[in-house]
Amino acid sequence: MDPKGILKAFPKRKKIHTNPSSTTLAKIPKREDREAAGGTWIKHSSARQTKSLLRLLELVRLSPGQPCLLPDLPPDLYLLPGGQMRLQASKPSSDGEASDGEETQVSAADLEALISGRYPTPFEGDGEPSPAPEGLDKWVCAQPSSQKAINHNPHITEKLEVLAKAYSVQGDKWRALGYAKAINALKSFHKPVTSYQEAFGIPGIGKRMAEKIVEILESGHLRKLDHISESVPVLELFSNIWGAGTKTAQMWYHQGFRSLEDIRNQACLTTQQAIGLKHYDDFLDRMPREEAAEIEQTVRKAAQALNPGLLCVACGSYRRGKATCGDMDVLLTHPDGRSHQGVFSRLLDSLRQQGFLTDDLVSHEENGQQQKYLGVCQLPGPGRRHRRLDIIVVPYSELACALLYFTGSAHFNRSMRALAKTKGMSLSEHALSTAVVRSAQGLKVGSGQVLPTPTEKDVFRFLGLPYREPAERDW
């Protein structure tokens, strides 16, 4: 764990000795002297590994002669030759159990780093993102988004994007996904594509897609665009109504509706769809960053009026540093792990009384220990637009993973979850967990456990990734 991390997770403890009168530290017995049933021994050579092992000895308070087992070590220390990971089955510790009765201590600097996602660099002036580790250079989550490749093929990707959108609004998700993969591959290619062979040789582009690329190269046009159904622009219009998905848009089209006015006057709408239609233009208009900051400040002020210790973090594109935002996601928690409870409904009542919340889309959604509100807000003053606002109250133990999830981007998050899966782990907005542990014979020997992730940096570390600040996740 980064020594400047948010929690002092490893409080100072007394040295461990073989007996109270001895001044010699307890030693881990050699393998030939003593075997631990079911345990896996570790050979270490680096100073960093030695330091980690000694620290972990203090953490678990080994008794004399007890072997050091793999679950007590960071993942980068139990990756064995050949890429195989072996774990000793162990029971997860009880939630919220403190060590030696000590209180978790959180400094103002730690909180600021956790909220912003920006941590001090090891050396002054070292502001360049670190490169992706060898073997991970193909993973989006391993790359800083500031180093996105220049699109050398915009004349091709622009036309393919029209088709991808058409398939998407028509509900043909697999074709839409195929086009999206080809578009991303072309945008990442290091030079303009000039031939069929070159296009077909790019990973993610098949024979038929290569043929379409050549057609664009030779004619500057794609005939398939001439045959896009006249329903596509109408379906896109309808699917932009909050609460109306692709199937609903298609149903309205088949019912003969062709405009928003038709929907307003003739369609049978849910409560959410009626709100989405009422604020259609406002929801499509991206808000400037300054307005998003005002919304976060309004929520934070109301929350801290209930409890001054509550933390309020604006996520989404705002946390990624974008100049405009489509909506606002605000996370609430409390460092003591308890005081966030009971705040959710009181906060919503306060914001409604102020006239800040104007419409409720989903007034209360339970997601494990997290509570989520989806609604509409409006800042005071003439000419202010209605904006989409989500408020999520999370336990402090889940804050880091929740920050990752709600900060995005969606593409970055999908990449992180996929990478976690390849490492035998599972990543969600709640936690990073090890997967089921199996023996060499494939028998289940353990159900896995939640890994300690007090900060976002810990999640990256467990996955073997260089840390990416929020602005570097904008894929």
Give catalytic residues, as residue numbers.
212
Q: Give the closest residue to 29 by CA, choosing from 64, 78, 73.
A: 64
Q: What is the DSSP letter of 63?
A: P
- The number of residues making up the chain comes to 475
Cα separation values, 441 from 81, 91, 444, Å: 19, 21, 9
- Give the span between the Cα atoms of 241 and 269, in whole angstroms: 11
Using DSSP's 3-state secondary structure scheme, residue 286 falls into coil
Q: Give the closest residue to 152 by CA, choosing from 176, 186, 125, 184.
A: 186
Tokens 């602005």: give the residue: 471
CA 26 to centroid of chain Cα atoms: 41
Tokens 């990073």: give the residue: 432
* Burial class of residue 425 (count of CB atoms within 10 Å of its CB; 0-12, 13-18, 19+): buried
> Omega into 409 within 30° of 0, i.e. cis?
yes
Token readout for 25 is 């530290």
**Angle between helix 207-219 and helix 173-188 axes, rounded to 10 deg:** 60
Q: How many CB atoms lie within 10 A of CB 259?
A: 11
Token readout for 410 is 């969606």
Q: How many CB atoms lie within 10 A of CB 406?
A: 21
